[in-house]
Amino acid sequence: MSKLKNEWFDWIKALLIAFALAFIVRMFFFAPIVVDGPSMQPTLHNQDQMIVNKFIYSIDDPERFDIIVFHANEEQDFIKRVIGLPGEHVAVKDDVLLIDGEPIQENFLQQIKSQKEPNQTLTEGFRLEDLPGGYKEIPEGYVLVLGDNRNNSSDSRVLGLIPQDTIVGKTSLIYWPLNRIDILNTDDV
C-alpha cells in the first residue's frame, strides 16, 4: 500500500511541477495570441495564431519594423509594426516613409505597392506633429506604430504614440494555420 501511495504522490508532484512551469513560461516568457482583423495584411492574416516573446524587451529595446503586441486598452491587445523610435521624427509623404527627413525602404509593403492603382495612396501622408500629442520628436519611452494595411488600421495615427511599458512583447512566429507557418524576420525588411 505504501508503494502505491508513493507512486501517486510522485505523479501528483510531477503534475504540479509541470503546471507550475507551464504557468511561469506562459506568464513571463511566451504566450499565444490570435490576430484579429485585417490591419496587418498581407504580413499577418485574420485568425493567424502566433507566439509572443514577452521577455525580449526586458533585455533589449524595440527596433524599427519589429512586430509587437501592446495593450491598446484594458480589454484589447493590438498587433502593429514599430515604425518610429525615441528621438526620431516620422512623416509619410507621397507614400514614402521619412525618418528625420530621410526616406526609409519598407520592403514588407512592396507586394501591396505593386498591386495598387496608379493614383491610389497606400499611406495617407502625415507628420508626427499631426498625430495625437502633437510631438515634434518621439519622446523617450514611446514608439510610433503602424499596421501594414495602412488604409485599414487603428494605429499611432489614431491612438497616438505607444508607451513602451504597454508593450507585451515581440511576435515573429506564426504557428497556425499550418499552411501559414512562418518565422517573420524583420532583418530582411
| Tens of pLDDT, residue by residue, the chain (189 residues) | 577 677 777 777 777 777 777 666 656 567 888 888 888 888 888 999 988 988 888 888 999 999 999 998 888 889 999 999 999 999 999 888 999 989 998 888 877 777 767 777 778 888 999 888 888 999 999 999 999 888 888 889 989 999 999 999 999 888 888 888 877 876 544
Look up the pTM and report it. Answer: 0.81
Query: Is 160:132 a contact under the CB 8 Å cutoff?
Result: yes
Look at residues 87, 107, 115, 117 and name the one whose alpha carbon lies nearest to residue 99. 87
* Per-residue pLDDT, 189: 46
Listed in sequence order, the residues at least 6 apart from 43 whose beta carbon sits closer than 8 Å to its beta carbon are 67, 81, 108, 148, 184
Please report the pLDDT score of residue 173 as a whole number. 82
What are the residue numbers of the active site? 39, 80
| N residues, the chain | 189
Q: Dihedrals φ, ψ of 170, to 5°?
A: -105, 140
Q: Cell 507550475 belongs to which residue?
A: 20
| CATH class assigned to 33-188 | mainly beta
**Residue 116, number of CB atoms within 10 A of its CB:** 13
Question: Which residue ranges make up each domain of the chain?
Answer: 33-188
pLDDT of residue 68: 94
Give pLDDT, residue 10: 76
CA angle, 187 as apex, 186 and 189 as ends, to 5°? Answer: 65
The C-alpha cell that represents 172 in the structure block = 515573429
pLDDT of residue 83: 95
What does the pLDDT read at residue 169?
Answer: 92
